[in-house]
Amino acid sequence: MKKGGHGNWVYGDKSWCDPFHTWANVYMLDPVANLTNELKKNVLGGETAAWSELVNPSNVLTVIFPRASAAAEALWSAPIDRDWRKAANRMDRFVEILNQRGVDCSPIWPTYCSKRNCLD
């Protein structure tokens, strides 16, 4: 059973809030993947939502960020292969900038990885 309000809390292996999407899941989603070229022209933007069951005033920003940041990069830059590993260092640095500016933002991975670049 997952802890911390990230799904699987209602029926053991099934939950209203499943699946919990990490920033990497959000980054890899392609909102136009199954659309024809004609339909793709109608897509003007995107949005990131957070289930209200999982947020309150004490954690709303840490839940929204960095997932909204990952969605913004994926939507605006449209990475060809959508490999989260290629975005991890940028996302880690952006989280650091947000925190320095007073925006509460959850880390994207353990601090150990930020200091030692776990992707190398």
**Mean pLDDT of the region 80-107:** 86
Could you give phi then psi for residue 60, rounded to 5 degrees? -60, -45
The string of pLDDT tens digits covering residues 34-85 is: 999 999 999 888 888 877 777 888 888 888 888 888 898 888 877 677 788 8
* Domain map (residue ranges) of the chain: 23-116
Residues 56, 62, 65, CA angle at the centre, nearest 5°? 125
Amino acid identity, position 45: G
Higher pLDDT, 111 or 60: 60
Give the residue among 102, 84, 82, 83 at the shortest CA–CA distance from 92. Answer: 84
